[in-house]
Structure 1
């Protein structure tokens, strides 16, 4: 019965797939040494987003001083954290007695990712101050990538983060949105910025992709039709401890693609929990193989139709992500990507 139910849901999810992220590409995205960009240790700029907006963006649950390591849930392109996580991961962390927070980015994460990163910076600082502990960051698709912008250009937050975990993260851009043609069509800012070879992607990966003291786990699936090639979710440079884990190396028959990898997949769940439960990033050989016998992650009943209400509510925005000339999340339509902020460049502001 469970298998039949999921089979009926897959056509719907496939319609959503192209939207939660937009990212394939290569790893050589920087200028060779990052020389065109800010030094890795240059202090970050003051946040431009007003403090009341930053404060209102963070919703936290649980006791900040007790339980397992605190975790920040960061949403994918086009969705709110409620739509992305309230029906799955939030249930898991609540059951664990873990303090967790969800950060809501304006314009349904369609806007300038440089602005979205300021919300992540504030969330990390706030959670660290409240808990007195280093936190973990868990993100799906763009949500697994944009915290790296915060870590790259605000060095003060690096000691506050213990784990950076991306589920099908868009770390190296995409070639899967042919409708966004510079000067010819219009697209929302976050889509422009996630095209392969964009100025944003080059700056993001400049100098170093990871930083010492932080463990990076990047989960990806060979069935990902949004992040292609799927292994482009991985990271390779810098001083952080890195694990790029293919779900098929844990469960060879894992059937889930981009959207389900970050929302339902029991294999992804097992990999994420391995990273959270051990020192260092996830280790594929150590991951609990009992996940391979499940159809969905704990915290989610695939037979409960109510679980899918947040996803259905987000459907129009999810589909619109792949379309030029359309903006359903309130973000402006632009003919090219937003310019890099002055703090990104070697010359500074």
Structure 2
């Protein structure tokens, strides 16, 4: 681990009932350009607080704009700390980059594979996005470089098995994703395809045909994505579309979202991500692979 222990410890914020060990805690990991507060404080955290579900959030360095290999060390620390304090396996829910980064931790820190029950990605960038190719033509942030479909980072992540035995992997994605693109048909980025883990790739349109959730909705207020995530962490195995009540298709918001404050909450989320993606110092190429990840 290259990150100082004090920084790793400062990045993790947990509810008081994590240490009680009554149920598996959830680790929430935000997406690119974000910290946990604008990503989760007005939706998932409120929903979990309402049912007293124990959870922690991890703040990735530099709003998840810098080298994902370094950010992954924060996730490794979080998994170890949650398992140690709760005595339970950890359920991970991550959005976008946050839905992919847990796989880097599991791949290159094998001890973490025994600490995780469910890994849930909300519109995760598992196989990159062609949008990053456009953003990176004049240079872009390190983590954006690494989410290009042909990046060395993603080649290292996806070479060999994409999943590991003993872990349930759920991918909740949308065919109408404008950020992780393409996310439909055989070349869809988010779905996982190989390895010995139990895998469920579920598009929100599989449950609600005609649903038009975009990338931003998937990690913040979409009720179908939330239903998939909760089914994964509460049910046996990964999520199962057949267990999800079709009534979710008629809802506008997931639990926890306040319709009265939604416009301001969503605007703050969008502005935070957009500002950091637009203004973070650009580099001409992605960071070099760490020695442990080189072929």
- Is there any run of 5+ residues in structure 1 with no aligned partner, and where? 1-46
2:227, 2:79 → 1: CA distance? 24
- 1:232 match: secondary structure: coil
TM-score, normalised via structure 1 length = 0.79
- 1:310: how far off? 4.9
In structure 2, relative to structure 1, the CA distance for the partners of 1:279 and 1:315 (3 Å cut) is: closer
Judged with a 3 Å threshold, the aligned counterparts in structure 2 of structure 1 residues 315 and 250 are, in CA distance, closer, same or farther, namely closer
Partner of 1:255: 212
Q: Deviations over 1:308-349 (max 9, x none)?
A: 5454345444224665xx31xxxx421100000011124xxx
Encode CA deviations 1:19-49: one digit per residue, 9 max, x unaligned.
Answer: xxxxxxxxxxxxxxxxxxxxxxxxxxxx110
Could you say which residue in structure 2 is the equivalent of 1:10? none
Normalised by the length of structure 2, the TM-score is: 0.94
SS at 2:114's partner residue?
Answer: helix
Q: Provide the rounded CA distance (Å) in 2 between the counterparts of 1:232 and 1:315.
A: 22
Q: Report 1:1-349 matches (<5 A).
A: 47-64=1-18, 65-177=20-132, 178-181=134-137, 185-230=138-183, 231-302=188-259, 304-305=260-261, 307-320=262-275, 323=278, 326-327=279-280, 332-346=281-295
How far, CA to CA, are the matches of 2:240 and 2:270 in structure 1?
34
Shift of 1:60: 0.1
Kindly indicate whether the alpha-carbon contact (under 8 Å) linking 1:78 and 1:110 is maintained by their aligned counterparts in 2: yes
> Structure 2: which 5+ residue stretches go unaligned?
none
SS at match of 1:115: helix
Query: By how many angstroms is 1:278 displaced?
Result: 1.1
The question of whether the paired residues in 2 share the 8 Å contact of 1:75 and 1:142 is answered with yes
| Greater relative CO, 1 or 2 (CA 8 Å, sep 6+) | 1
Report the structure number with the largest CA radius of gyration. Answer: 1
Runs of 4+ in 1 over 6 A off after TM superposition: none
Q: Distance in 2 between matches of 1:58 and 1:197?
A: 31
User: Number of paired residues?
Assistant: 289
